[in-house]
Amino acid sequence: MIYLDNAATSFPKPDIVYNAMMEAMREYGANPGRSGHKLALKAGRAIYETRELLANFFNIEDPMRIIFTSNATDGLNLAIKGLLKPNDHVITTSMEHNSVLRPLKALENSGVETTIIQCDETGSMDIKDIEVNIKNNTKLIVTTHASNVTGTIFPIKEIGNLAKKHGIIYMVDVAQTAGVYDIDVIDMSIDILAFPGHKSLLGPQGTGGVYIREGLEISQMKEGGTGSRSDSLIQPDIYPDKFESGTPNMPGIVGLGAGIKYILEQGIDNIREHERKLTKTFIDELREIESVKIYGPCNIEKQAPVISINIGEEDSSEVSFILDEVFNIAVRPGLHCAPLAHQTINCYEQGCIRFSVGPFNTINDIDAAVNAIKIISKEI
Amino acid sequence: MIYLDNAATSFPKPDIVYNAMMEAMREYGANPGRSGHKLALKAGRAIYETRELLANFFNIEDPMRIIFTSNATDGLNLAIKGLLKPNDHVITTSMEHNSVLRPLKALENSGVETTIIQCDETGSMDIKDIEVNIKNNTKLIVTTHASNVTGTIFPIKEIGNLAKKHGIIYMVDVAQTAGVYDIDVIDMSIDILAFPGHKSLLGPQGTGGVYIREGLEISQMKEGGTGSRSDSLIQPDIYPDKFESGTPNMPGIVGLGAGIKYILEQGIDNIREHERKLTKTFIDELREIESVKIYGPCNIEKQAPVISINIGEEDSSEVSFILDEVFNIAVRPGLHCAPLAHQTINCYEQGCIRFSVGPFNTINDIDAAVNAIKIISKEI
């Protein structure tokens, strides 16, 4: 199987991820932060180690401002719902994933106002469109770092600066970039950062998190046992306990830590260059195939290793089915949980076939994909 | 290490749990329900298999009414917050965990009214106390199946019947019983059932779920990509998608399925009898030690395999520290995220030392624990 569905979840994971999780489960699989015995302490330390790795990775000063969640969606909901109050105004874009758009849509029922900036046909946004839409009650700007449909990279540092200038909170969804692109919350003026653990950070499914800058007032969505202030019926206000009720996914978080260690060992620049090279080759080859329509910037300087295409007017699911059945190539077809993005790039009816590259893909995978698309293009 | 902290999380897990998780991650670690390729389909089927296993296990008619969550707390919050509206009245008990009490306490701020039934010194409740507190606006009764502090088993079938008679929704927290005691949502008239995956169901941390009976109106707490109705900005209303936004913890859920398979292979009755036998021996032996105060019913017919004690007036953390350091026995001291339970059984100041038995404990573990307590009792 040639796996080109890394934007959905990276596969495989580095061996050290599997091994670290097995060790965590077999050797010290206790409940972290609940008891004081050796295994529980070891489990607690292992979680803290991942928190520290993430903090260093994103240049976050205090690891305790990182909250572990079950995926990026969970983190985005936590921050969006915890932050926004009736009559607050939010600016977002037409390239966002439903993990941003659906919570905002739901909040409209309680009086939150949303402005959705229209991006162009390549999925790119114009920062001026944000600025002109800022109002007195604009509390939040939330954007993706790179579109999950087209890979289009957003100018997050510029948006962060703009937000800062206007005293607006900036939240970034780094689902498609964390682990491949440099992310520095201070340099980029990011107030809230939501990330999945199981994509380019190479951790297992069931992990993710959200960083919340000190000084922001965010209410928790759920309460429960935190292993802290157990004498009280009131949720503790300290981070991360305020948001981390119940037993955490300790082996998963340990696996996420191992994923980050792998990235640090390989060098994030090397991983990025490898993925960019494959993506560039893929784009260059695809351009030569007449019936192929490529969405997005078609420019490796402007896009993450995600390439969406269609072949003529063929149904994207049909083509993906052939890629899977005949060529043993795994991709994702249809609508990618981002309906406005498909409208923006004009493939709402047809959907599109998304190829997404990971660190374990090789040039042979790209050649095989190109070859398959050539054959399918000729035959249908 | 003698591990007697199974009420916090079971340890170790059966080998088939580790193996199933490794296979899931190494062989078909794709994103379930997002793409249509072979690996994604296999991952999706694996999740559905666990849903079916759980449905059979709890006698739930439709597996799609089971929602996977990251732990039991997550499921309890989802159901409590999704169900209750301002001016609704809830009845609960003084033996509940903070995963029930803290969400209810938080909802008081939005006009939800709570009555907390006072249990007796053994942690037992009188069902009449529920009945007399039912009011016109009582929408929900929520109780534990067994206390996480004393193991005291609640008459959930009787409470279920009472709730049904009055047209009130009954929610049960089976954190301490699922996997050891028979739970039948139809026979017991349970409308909502919240369970952790990582305790007696023997799955990994990061898993849990909640069953919601058909016909109940529960709003979701979060929205996002569901792999369904991707054309829409509105969260789909179908179960389980309505509540399962974002990438699920596929390897964890597969591990949970393996845990249930292990229980089915061993026989839940055999596991229960094994744990009861150890618990009974432990209680019988502890009764002989003069300075030991045992909390709870002290009667294996009335309690799950959880035994909390204190030695004289000694600080529970200090004793647990000695158990760990000197005797290599892992237990949990202090307050167990259930403050009212500690007030109810009169150990709010001292906390208590909780021993909790799992399927892999042996009579030797119990003997070692008894011996250690005898020595500590003499020396301090």
Residues A146 and A260 in one domain: yes
Could you say which of B232, B250, B265 is where a domain stops? B265
Q: Is there a contact between B224 and A102 if contact means CB atoms under 8 Å apart?
A: yes
CATH number at residue B107: 3.40.640.10
Give per-residue pLDDT as tens, B68-102. 999 999 999 999 999 999 999 999 999 999 999 99
B160 close to B176: Cβ distance less than 8 angstroms: no
Identify each DSSP E strand in chain A by its residue range: 2-3, 66-69, 89-93, 113-117, 138-144, 169-173, 192-196, 208-212, 292-294, 306-311, 329-330, 353-356
**Å from B305 to nearest chain A CA?**
18
ipTM, 2 dp? 0.98
Residues B281 and B249 in one domain: no
Range of B109's domain? Answer: 15-265
Confidence of residue A324 (pLDDT cuts 50, 70, 90): very high
Residues B135 and B250 in one domain: yes
The helix (H) or strand (E) run that includes residue A165 is helix A156-165
Q: Does residue B197 sit at the A interface (CB-CB below 8 Å)? A: no
Q: Is there a contact between B5 and A30 if contact means CB atoms under 8 Å apart?
A: yes
Residues B290 and B316 in one domain: yes
The number of C-alpha atoms within 13 Å of A235 and in the hemisphere containing its C-beta is 25
The helix (H) or strand (E) run that includes residue A79 is helix A72-83
Residues A84 and A96 in one domain: yes
Q: Which amino acid is at B44?
A: G
Could you say which of B216, B246, B265 is where a domain stops? B265
Strand-pairing partners, residue B292, are B311
Instruction: Write down the pLDDT at residue B229.
Output: 87
Tokens of A317: 């699911």
Which of B15, B19, B98 to mutate to test binding with chain A, by most A CBs within 10 Å of its CB? B98
- Segment A62-75 mean pLDDT: 98
Cα–Cα nearest to B73, from B251, B198, B223: B198
Confidence of residue A319 (pLDDT cuts 50, 70, 90): very high
Tokens 């597996």 found at? B63
Instruction: Write down the pLDDT at residue A115.
Output: 98
* CA B328 and chain centroid, separation: 26
Q: Which residues of A touch B74 (CB under 8 A)?
A: 70, 222, 245-246
Q: Is there a contact between A224 and B73 if contact means CB atoms under 8 Å apart?
A: yes
Q: Which residues of A touch B320 (CB under 8 A)?
A: 35-37
Q: Which amino acid is at A297?
A: P
Q: Does residue A279 sit at the B interface (CB-CB below 8 Å)? A: no
Instruction: Write down the pLDDT at residue A178.
Output: 98
Residues B233 and B317 in one domain: no
Instruction: Write down the pLDDT at residue A40.
Output: 96
Could you say which of B265, B295, B318 is where a domain stops? B265
Which of A28, A110, A245 to mutate to test binding with chain B, by most B CBs within 10 Å of its CB? A245
**Å from B165 to nearest chain A CA?**
30
d(CA B83, CA B98): 18
**Å from B81 to nearest chain A CA?**
8
Lowest mean pLDDT among A116-130, A161-175, A226-240, B172-186: A226-240
B176 close to B144: Cβ distance less than 8 angstroms: yes
Whether A380 has a pLDDT exceeding 80, the answer reads: no
CB atoms under 10 Å from CB of B59, counted, come to 14
Q: Is there a contact between A205 and B106 if contact means CB atoms under 8 Å apart?
A: no
Q: Which residues of B touch A68 (CB under 8 A)?
A: none
Q: Is there a contact between B245 and A77 if contact means CB atoms under 8 Å apart?
A: yes
Report the SS3 class of residue A90.
Answer: strand
Among the partner-chain residues B37, B81, B324, the one whose CB lies closest to the CB of A324 is B37
Q: Alpha helices of chain B — where are they, by DSSP H?
A: 15-28, 38-58, 72-83, 98-108, 127-132, 156-165, 250-266, 268-287, 316-325, 339-344, 363-379
* Helices A15-28 + B15-28 axis angle, to 10: 170
Instruction: Write down the pLDDT at residue A228.
Output: 85
Cα–Cα nearest to B8, from A248, A209, A251: A248
Report the SS3 class of residue B172.
Answer: strand
Instruction: Write down the pLDDT at residue B380.
Output: 77
Task: Compute CA distances A22 → A10, A283, B257, whole Å.
Answer: 19, 39, 17
B232 close to B93: Cβ distance less than 8 angstroms: no
- Our count of domains for chain B comes to 2
DSSP annotation of B5 reads B
Instruction: Write down the pLDDT at residue B151.
Output: 98
Q: Is there a contact between B251 and A70 if contact means CB atoms under 8 Å apart?
A: no
Which B residues in the span 113-152 are in contact with A, Cβ-Cβ below 8 Å? none
Give per-residue pLDDT as tens, A183-214. 999 999 999 999 999 999 999 999 999 999 99
Q: Which residues of B touch A95 (CB under 8 A)?
A: none
Cα–Cα nearest to A219, from B222, B106, B102, B17: B106
Among the partner-chain residues B74, B230, B332, the one whose CB lies closest to the CB of A337 is B230
Report the SS3 class of residue B257.
Answer: helix
Whether A215 has a pLDDT exceeding 80, the answer reads: yes
Taken in order A41, A47, A50, A55, is the CA torsion positive or negative?
Answer: negative
Residues B141 and B225 in one domain: yes
Integer Rg of chain A from CA: 21
CATH number at residue A358: 3.90.1150.10
From first to last of the 380 residues of chain B, give the pLDDT tens digit.
999 999 999 999 999 999 999 999 999 999 998 788 999 999 999 999 999 999 999 999 999 999 999 999 999 999 999 999 999 999 999 999 999 999 999 999 999 999 999 999 999 999 999 999 999 999 999 999 999 999 999 999 999 999 999 999 999 999 999 999 999 999 999 999 999 999 999 999 999 999 999 999 999 999 999 988 888 999 999 999 999 999 999 999 999 999 999 999 999 999 999 999 999 999 999 999 999 999 999 999 999 999 999 999 999 999 999 999 999 999 999 999 999 999 999 999 999 999 999 999 999 999 999 999 999 999 87
Residues B111 and B65 in one domain: yes
Residues A178 and A222 in one domain: yes
Instruction: Write down the pLDDT at residue B230.
Output: 86
Q: Which residue of A has its CA nearest to B10?
A: A30
Q: Is there a contact between A39 and B11 if contact means CB atoms under 8 Å apart?
A: yes
Q: Is there a contact between A321 and B25 if contact means CB atoms under 8 Å apart?
A: no
DSSP annotation of A199 reads S
Confidence of residue A77 (pLDDT cuts 50, 70, 90): very high
- Segment A217-235 mean pLDDT: 93
B46 close to B31: Cβ distance less than 8 angstroms: no
Residues A301 and A223 in one domain: no
* CA A175 and chain centroid, separation: 1
Instruction: Write down the pLDDT at residue A347.
Output: 95
Q: Is there a contact between A227 and B337 if contact means CB atoms under 8 Å apart?
A: yes
Q: Which residues of A touch B142 (CB under 8 A)?
A: none
Burial class (CB in 10 A: 0-12, 13-18, 19+), B217: exposed
**Å from B14 to nearest chain A CA?**
10
Give the angle subtended at the CA of B167 by the CAs of B162 and B172, to the nearest 5°. 60
d(CA B8, CA A225): 11
Q: What predicted TM-score, i.e. pTM, was given to this entire model?
A: 0.98
Q: Which residues of B touch A73 (CB under 8 A)?
A: 222, 224-225, 245-247
Residues B198 and B288 in one domain: no
Give per-residue pLDDT as tens, B185-238. 999 999 999 999 999 999 999 999 999 999 999 999 999 999 888 889 999 999
Q: Which residues of A touch B223 (CB under 8 A)?
A: 77, 98-99, 102-103, 105-106
Which residues make Cβ contacts (< 8 Å) with residue B332, sequence separation at least 6? Answer: A34, A35, A36, A37, A40, B5, B7, B8, B320, B353, B354, B356
- Segment A243-256 mean pLDDT: 98
Mean pLDDT of chain A: 97
B54 close to B209: Cβ distance less than 8 angstroms: yes
Instruction: Write down the pLDDT at residue B35.
Output: 83
DSSP B258-319: HHHHHHHHH-HHHHHHHHHHHHHHHHHHHHTSTTEEEPS---TTTB-SEEEEEETT--HHHH
Which B residues in the span 217-246 are in contact with A, Cβ-Cβ below 8 Å? 221-227, 230-235, 245-246
Q: Is there a contact between A9 and B26 if contact means CB atoms under 8 Å apart?
A: no
Q: Which residue of A has its CA nearest to B29?
A: A11
d(CA A14, CA B280): 46
Which B residues in the span 54-113 are in contact with A, Cβ-Cβ below 8 Å? 69-74, 76-78, 81, 97-99, 101-103, 105-106
Which B residues in the span 17-56 are in contact with A, Cβ-Cβ below 8 Å? 18, 21-22, 25-26, 29-31, 34-40
B347 is catalytic: no
**Å from B66 to nearest chain A CA?**
17
Q: Is there a contact between B21 and A26 if contact means CB atoms under 8 Å apart?
A: no
Residues B252 and B368 in one domain: no
Give per-residue pLDDT as tens, B7-23. 999 999 999 999 999 99
